[in-house]
């Protein structure tokens, strides 16, 4: 059954040089949108169209960022929403967000970035309950969508992949993997954020890593299929694409292994077992040259060299290993340092070459999303605190900090002069502006 609620496209003709406020009330949800004057800084717009940004590694060219938040960061608009862990995604002046309504319905909404006007909203039945011991982490949509020209892909809690027209919200196709492949629902709901490469979508479902044709949603191949009866169904991680020893490939983390997979036919090129508590391999693998870094819940931090031997066979060599434990926050790298928010809620800087711990901070919240531009990091703490950090090999150097939300589990997003925050109650758009 399919439900759609849409508002017509509008051209508001608002000027950002004038102070404008408006109040709009929706009969279905109700919302407040606020817009005011601000002169944007001269930032490069690189978009933020998917999990961890354009390169899927937490980096952006949308900087330099101002040195202070108080006089430079202003709220442009916000809309209340039901909960979601999905990060907002941006393309062509539009921002898209998801939510789970009344524990029964998944909804996707498109807004104009400039003024917060709603272009369309689409919903469908799609919720599920997580196990009681994970109830504190919520039972709402988790996967971050991905948007490219002509296609917006959403992966719902019940392992259903939906493709919408990003301009109108019209459904182009959907794939219900449990029905099509006969696979079980994932115990905690679908978590993996889909990836688009060329004319294909790659996603880790409850039964396998799957390649889906972008034009029509047909399944091209399945790989890394779960063993029948295993309790470690599905995946907590999201894949990336990288070139290792001259071969472009998917870098995938299942609940038990780190793997390289052929983009073309799904052949598993190499595998490496990863120790983790109850299969909680959550981080997106981080590529550093021909090496891959990961850190598991109640496991350890490891860097692996991936290369072919003289006979063309893939080999995985552990470059270094140490005791640092990851959790849910995917790391970023600047120069030779890996910045990792750990299971113990502290931030640490690890030497990418040998794993040496350069420094470790005091505790923060339970989760961080991080964006890197040049030598600076924007970090959004789960408590709603936004930190501007200067890369430093000897200590945590916080340039400034401010509060931008509450329960901010969704990944931070940036697009030119805009900064987009999704907490459990609202979508908020901020604007970097020049000082008066």
pTM above 0.75, yes or no: yes
- By the 8 A CB rule, do 339 and 293 touch? no
In a domain, 243, yes or no: yes
In a domain, 96, yes or no: no
Give the range of the structural domain holding residue 296, as residue numbers without chain letter: 239-326
Residues of the chain with pLDDT under 70: 1-46, 227-232, 434-436
How many CB atoms sit inside 10 A of residue 118's CB?
Answer: 18
In degrees and rounded to multiples of 5, residue 336 shows phi and psi of -105, 20
Instruction: State the total domains in the chain.
Output: 1
CA angle 396, 391, 40 (to 5 degrees): 110
DSSP string, 310-341: TTS-EEEEEEEEES----SPPPEEETTEEEEE
- By the 8 A CB rule, do 433 and 40 touch? yes
In a domain, 104, yes or no: no
In degrees and rounded to multiples of 5, residue 58 shows phi and psi of 80, 15
| pLDDT tens readout for residues 13-38 | 333 333 333 333 333 333 333 333 33
In a domain, 110, yes or no: no
In a domain, 168, yes or no: no
What is the predicted pLDDT for the residue at 64? 85
CA angle 262, 232, 424 (to 5 degrees): 95
In a domain, 386, yes or no: no
SS3 187: coil
- By the 8 A CB rule, do 33 and 116 touch? yes
What is the predicted pLDDT for the residue at 46? 57
In a domain, 278, yes or no: yes
DSSP state of 412: P
For the chain, how big is the Rg over CA atoms in Å?
21
What is the predicted pLDDT for the residue at 109? 98
What is the predicted pLDDT for the residue at 164? 98
CATH classification of the domain holding 243: 2.40.10.480
In a domain, 155, yes or no: no
């Amino acid at each position: 059954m399919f439900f759609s609620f849409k508002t017509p496209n509008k051209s508001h003709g608002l000027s950002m040089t004038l102070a404008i406020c408006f109040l709009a009330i929706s009969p279905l949800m109700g919302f407040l949108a606020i817009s005011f004057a601000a002169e944007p800084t001269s930032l490069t717009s690189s978009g933020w169209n998917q999990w961890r940004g354009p390169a899927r590694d937490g980096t952006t060219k949308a900087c330099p960022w101002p040195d202070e938040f108080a006089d430079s960061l202003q709220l442009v608009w916000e809309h209340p929403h039901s909960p979601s862990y999905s990060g907002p995604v941006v393309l062509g002046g539009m921002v898209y967000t998801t939510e789970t309504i009344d524990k029964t319905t998944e909804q996707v909404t498109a807004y104009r970035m400039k003024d917060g006007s709603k272009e369309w909203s689409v919903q469908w039945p799609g919720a599920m309950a997580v196990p009681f011991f994970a109830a504190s982490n919520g039972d709402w949509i988790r996967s971050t969508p991905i948007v490219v020209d002509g296609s917006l892909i959403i992966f719902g809690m019940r392992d259903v992949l939906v493709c919408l027209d990003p301009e109108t919200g019209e459904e182009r196709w959907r794939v219900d993997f449990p029905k099509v492949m006969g696979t079980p629902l994932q115990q905690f709901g679908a978590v993996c954020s889909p990836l688009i490469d060329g004319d294909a979508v790659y996603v880790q479902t409850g039964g396998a890593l799957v390649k889906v044709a972008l034009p029509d949603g047909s399944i091209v191949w399945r790989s890394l299929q779960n063993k029948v009866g295993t309790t470690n169904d599905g995946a907590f991680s999201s894949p990336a694409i990288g070139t290792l020893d001259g071969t472009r490939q998917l870098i995938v983390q299942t609940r038990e292994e780190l793997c390289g997979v052929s983009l073309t036919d799904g052949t598993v090129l190499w595998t490496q077992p990863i120790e983790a508590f109850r299969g909680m391999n959550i981080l997106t693998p981080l590529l550093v040259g021909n090496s891959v870094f990961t850190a598991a819940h109640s496991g350890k931090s490891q860097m692996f060299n991936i290369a072919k031997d003289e006979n063309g066979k893939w080999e995985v060599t552990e470059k270094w290993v140490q005791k640092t434990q990851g959790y849910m926050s995917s790391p970023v790298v600047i120069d030779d340092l890996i910045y990792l928010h750990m299971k113990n809620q502290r931030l640490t800087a690890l030497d990418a070459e040998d794993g040496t711990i350069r420094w470790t901070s005091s505790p923060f919240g339970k989760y961080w999303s991080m964006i890197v531009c040049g030598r600076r990091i924007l970090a959004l703490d789960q408590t709603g605190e936004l930190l501007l950090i200067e890369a430093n090999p000897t200590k945590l150097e916080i340039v400034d900090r401010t509060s931008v939300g509450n329960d901010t589990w969704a990944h931070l997003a940036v697009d030119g002069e805009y900064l987009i925050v999704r907490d459990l109650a609202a979508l908020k758009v901020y604007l970097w502006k020049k000082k008066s």
